[in-house]
A and B are shown apart, each in its own frame.
Chain A
């Protein structure tokens, strides 16, 4: 019976968040903690020659200045620690903003001042930090996480030669940074050989694994606590050096240490979306059916890593295309490590969805119709039929609501005052993961339920959805259910990354809650003091905290009474496996381009998504609102600028790295959902969703700009100057 799952239930952590009572990692009171501040390299390539800490040590309150000479030797953890080295283990410098010392002081201000007083001499070489300046030609990196960087299907070269219609274009996008509002932070407290970390982590178990590996500890010796997270967007998914360095400093200092990265430090400390080039060649029939795609992309890799994060998943499999050749290439540059950033596919998907728009104009076929003609019924890699894929329904719903049929098939056709008005659309798709998850549900002697699992709420609504699932399964009101997450000491569960939370955890939470319900019912029917004594368990209904006999409704009991009489809590645990997959949708939008200033506004947006069963309509809508505005940032403003001579980030702050503000967001976003359970999903029919609704937005904006002005822009972000 479902009463709450699927409904627009208000966030159960809302009160804590609007009153300031929610305790984030840097809010945890830790007595006696020192404040740590990192000193970071100012050169991009070279080595540390000398570190003079005397002025810092003379500053009042500074307790220690630790360098590579002082830290214990650590083991470089494997993925999900993405960096292939740990800073402050030697003198080599691989990028600007690499930690070279950590200053510990009694107060934050003393530590900050101390860090400014540390003097570092370097041997420096001229760096290369952007793709244009690469010293070596692009190369094909080794498979990353067992996924190859070259994918072939059929014979793309021949098919391209023979194609009646061909399109060739180059697309590109700048480096981007996640910029969660909460800076990365670690507080480490050792107790002998055990360490507790209050960490801004998207996955407490990731941090546990990374820290345990680095320090050579069994995982049980590391506890990671992160009940609330002030955003992450991928930045807090992998493990990063500041966490290890804080734990190491606390060990050396024999005192707890709290470290919070500054906003500027975040631009070299926790990954970014790599600078990216894409060369696309498409072959098609005159009816617009794709016959070949050849794509070579070039990513900004680093001196020490060759992991490609911005894979071309949609090029590989979104549309039916028999001949394919995709190469993810890269060049080594002296920049900080890149990583996953909200929907990594967005980078390549911009090119694919722009190219399809270009093809639609070339063939005079409506862009939506072109996509319908290439709709994939089968998995392009395995040949299996894609069951429960409802992308065509998404197209129909959103097109109808947007009024796409009224689109003028000419560019520059509509002007409203000083602005050209254009419409654009793009398919959205995202590859989500699922991780094995265990959850436990306990019904206490007070008749209230507690769900426990080591997952996270990054802001997507995990607390709320877990609470809804448990309330439904047990037949308890929401207020009698509590979710406890964000602690590695809880049963192991999937993390908040790769849109994996809901598909990973929902099944285990539901099964644990149902098992707890059945156990309480079993107690009741076996209890001589219960009015339900002797009844068949199948005849008991649970609702609003009560257990009621279905045929004889005068016979009833309550959770509180049954478990209270038993005298001890009823706890059940369940583990459920799910598999990853794809989520689909579409975005239609209107953009207005100022005729003289070149400024772009996105004024109307309609989306439709198929995420299987929608667990909570308001938190699902929240992901769409966020994704649309992220897409606007991606398309129109966000870009990290490097100084090509020094390798430094020129704009490591929020006044020059522009992210959308309130006035930039479209006033109206209509969010439609197909909302039909996916029978293949063990997560109560739900699929992973969070990162899907950004993927098509940049291309839809570029396509709308073309429709408005006749100008095709292939390099992101489309800043105002490019439209003058």
Chain B
């Protein structure tokens, strides 16, 4: 029995790439495409697009291939390593950031899809030395151990409170279940979110 793997089969990424080429009708020759606005990015293999994002209140232009996720754009191109990669497929929540105020798993969205968006990462939450109330509550309630999921938990918690999904411990448990904590400080995370939500209401 012999087996061959690799080039013979289309991969998810080559399919994605083909789709991007078709949709944009771009030439195959490498070039740099500059995105004019949302949904108008077009590039083929090796081509890049300049995406302008507002990250933590600062306008940042980043030149990326269309296949680059928002997560990798933040970490690998903009040097914002506070956002963590746990699974790269939307299962763990470690990469959660706010996009136009909504919590988004940044590994599941391409940077080119977020042209012009307002992105808030963990680095943008504190006001100078003053921590965000959710950050303070996480320390106060010991709502983390290793810290691997913490950036995502906190960003998710900020949105969870904003959404009005932190009305009871039971509600928090459900609405924070998209963020895995393998150290399993879940009881402390619930306490921190509840505490911060109480502060936000008063």
* Contact partners of A669 in chain B: CB under 8 A: 187
Decide if A231 touches B2 in the complex (CB within 8 Å). no
* Contact partners of B92 in chain A: CB under 8 A: 181, 654
Decide if A263 touches B86 in the complex (CB within 8 Å). yes
* Contact partners of B138 in chain A: CB under 8 A: 14, 18
Decide if A20 touches B76 in the complex (CB within 8 Å). no
Question: Cβ of A653 < 8 Å from any Cβ of B?
Answer: yes
Question: Cβ of B68 < 8 Å from any Cβ of A?
Answer: yes
Question: Cβ of A158 < 8 Å from any Cβ of B?
Answer: no
B17 to chain A, nearest CB (A): 8
Question: Cβ of A549 < 8 Å from any Cβ of B?
Answer: no
Question: Cβ of A272 < 8 Å from any Cβ of B?
Answer: no
Given A24-B148, A229-B146, A662 contacting B8 (CB threshold 8 A):
no
* Contact partners of A626 in chain B: CB under 8 A: 145, 183-185
Decide if B6 touches A622 in the complex (CB within 8 Å). no
Decide if B148 touches A662 in the complex (CB within 8 Å). no
Question: Cβ of B202 < 8 Å from any Cβ of A?
Answer: no
Chain A 614-632 against B: per-residue CB contact (8 Å), 1 yes, 0 no? 0000110110011011100
Stretch at the interface among A105-113, A478-486, A515-523, A532-540: A105-113
Q: Which partner residue on chain B sits nearest A60 by CB separation?
A: B46
Decide if B7 touches A181 in the complex (CB within 8 Å). no
Question: Cβ of B67 < 8 Å from any Cβ of A?
Answer: yes
Decide if B6 touches A263 in the complex (CB within 8 Å). no
Instruction: Report how far A59 CA is from B6 CA in the complex, Å.
Output: 14
Central interface residue in B2, B176, B183, B188, by most chain A CB within 10 Å: B183
Given A18-B139, A262-B88, A622 contacting B177 (CB threshold 8 A):
no
Chain A 46-61 against B: per-residue CB contact (8 Å), 1 yes, 0 no? 0001001001000111
B174 to chain A, nearest CB (A): 5
Stretch at the interface among B18-26, B35-43, B117-125: B117-125
Central interface residue in B121, B149, B178, by most chain A CB within 10 Å: B149
Given A231-B148, A459-B145, A667-B169, A182 contacting B13 (CB threshold 8 A):
no
Question: Cβ of A668 < 8 Å from any Cβ of B?
Answer: yes
Instruction: Report how far A118 CA is from B6 CA in the complex, Å.
Output: 5
* Contact partners of A49 in chain B: CB under 8 A: 2
Instruction: Report how far A117 CA is from B13 CA in the complex, Å.
Output: 11
Q: Which partner residue on chain B sits nearest A185 by CB separation?
A: B85
* Contact partners of B7 in chain A: CB under 8 A: 52, 55, 117-119
Question: Cβ of A396 < 8 Å from any Cβ of B?
Answer: no
Instruction: Report how far A258 CA is from B152 CA in the complex, Å.
Output: 23
Decide if B3 touches A24 in the complex (CB within 8 Å). no
Q: Which partner residue on chain A sits nearest B4 by CB separation?
A: A121
* Contact partners of B89 in chain A: CB under 8 A: 263, 653, 655
Question: Cβ of B151 < 8 Å from any Cβ of A?
Answer: yes
Question: Cβ of B150 < 8 Å from any Cβ of A?
Answer: yes
Question: Cβ of A663 < 8 Å from any Cβ of B?
Answer: yes
Q: Which partner residue on chain A sits nearest B87 by CB separation?
A: A263
Decide if A660 touches B146 in the complex (CB within 8 Å). no
A627 to chain B, nearest CB (A): 8
* Contact partners of B154 in chain A: CB under 8 A: 18
Decide if A665 touches B142 in the complex (CB within 8 Å). no
Q: Which partner residue on chain B sits nearest A457 by CB separation?
A: B146
Instruction: Report how far A55 CA is from B174 CA in the complex, Å.
Output: 46
Question: Cβ of A673 < 8 Å from any Cβ of B?
Answer: no
Q: Which partner residue on chain A sits nearest B190 by CB separation?
A: A662
Question: Cβ of B164 < 8 Å from any Cβ of A?
Answer: no
* Contact partners of A15 in chain B: CB under 8 A: 131, 139
Given A121-B2, A263-B88, A107 contacting B184 (CB threshold 8 A):
no
Question: Cβ of A382 < 8 Å from any Cβ of B?
Answer: no
Question: Cβ of B79 < 8 Å from any Cβ of A?
Answer: yes
Main secondary structure of the interface of B (DSSP, over half): loop
Q: Which partner residue on chain B sits nearest A117 by CB separation?
A: B7
Q: Which partner residue on chain B sits nearest A122 by CB separation?
A: B3
Decide if A662 touches B147 in the complex (CB within 8 Å). no
Chain B 52-66 against A: per-residue CB contact (8 Å), 1 yes, 0 no? 000000000000010
B183 to chain A, nearest CB (A): 5
* Contact partners of B80 in chain A: CB under 8 A: 20
Within 8 Å by CB of A10, from B5, B142, B184, lies B142
Question: Cβ of B96 < 8 Å from any Cβ of A?
Answer: no
Decide if B67 touches A109 in the complex (CB within 8 Å). yes
Decide if A181 touches B86 in the complex (CB within 8 Å). yes
Decide if A179 touches B185 in the complex (CB within 8 Å). no
Instruction: Report how far A13 CA is from B121 CA in the complex, Å.
Output: 19
* Contact partners of B122 in chain A: CB under 8 A: 18-20
* Contact partners of B140 in chain A: CB under 8 A: 10
Q: Which partner residue on chain B sits nearest A266 by CB separation?
A: B87
Decide if A19 touches B6 in the complex (CB within 8 Å). no
Instruction: Report how far A592 CA is from B178 CA in the complex, Å.
Output: 24
Question: Cβ of B173 < 8 Å from any Cβ of A?
Answer: yes
Q: Which partner residue on chain B sits nearest A660 by CB separation?
A: B184
Instruction: Report how far A119 CA is from B30 CA in the complex, Å.
Output: 25
Q: Which partner residue on chain A sits nearest B146 by CB separation?
A: A459
Decide if A665 touches B72 in the complex (CB within 8 Å). no
B177 to chain A, nearest CB (A): 4
Question: Cβ of B45 < 8 Å from any Cβ of A?
Answer: yes
Q: Which partner residue on chain A sits nearest B151 by CB separation?
A: A20
Given A10-B140, A17-B147, A181-B86, A665 contacting B186 (CB threshold 8 A):
yes
Instruction: Report how far A123 CA is from B3 CA in the complex, Å.
Output: 7
Decide if A60 touches B30 in the complex (CB within 8 Å). yes
Question: Cβ of B166 < 8 Å from any Cβ of A?
Answer: no
Question: Cβ of A402 < 8 Å from any Cβ of B?
Answer: no
Instruction: Report how far A117 CA is from B9 CA in the complex, Å.
Output: 9
Within 8 Å by CB of A230, from B4, B146, B170, B187, lies B146
Decide if A17 touches B144 in the complex (CB within 8 Å). yes
Instruction: Report how far A262 CA is from B86 CA in the complex, Å.
Output: 9
Question: Cβ of A477 < 8 Å from any Cβ of B?
Answer: no
Given A113-B13, A654-B91, A20 contacting B83 (CB threshold 8 A):
yes
B199 to chain A, nearest CB (A): 15
* Contact partners of A263 in chain B: CB under 8 A: 86-89, 91
Question: Cβ of B82 < 8 Å from any Cβ of A?
Answer: yes
Question: Cβ of B94 < 8 Å from any Cβ of A?
Answer: yes
Which B residues form the contact surface with A (CB < 8 A)? 1-8, 11, 13-14, 30, 45-46, 65, 67-68, 72, 75-76, 79-89, 91-92, 94, 121-123, 125-126, 131, 135, 138-140, 142, 144-151, 154, 169-170, 172-174, 176-190
Q: List 20 additional A-B contacts (Cβ < 8 Å) besides A26-B85, A228-B147.
A: A18-B144, A20-B122, A22-B147, A24-B147, A55-B7, A61-B46, A108-B72, A109-B67, A117-B7, A121-B2, A181-B86, A181-B182, A263-B88, A263-B89, A459-B147, A622-B185, A629-B186, A659-B180, A661-B180, A662-B177
- Give the 5 A-B CB pairs with smallest separation, nearest first: A20-B82, A230-B148, A459-B146, A459-B145, A119-B6
13 A-B Cβ contacts within 8 A?
A: A19-B131, A26-B81, A26-B85, A49-B2, A109-B65, A113-B67, A116-B6, A121-B2, A181-B92, A181-B146, A626-B185, A654-B92, A665-B187
Which A residues form the contact surface with B (CB < 8 A)? 10-11, 13-24, 26-27, 29, 39, 42-43, 49, 52, 55, 59-61, 107-109, 112-113, 116-126, 179-183, 228-233, 260, 262-263, 458-461, 618-619, 621-622, 625-626, 628-630, 653-655, 659-669
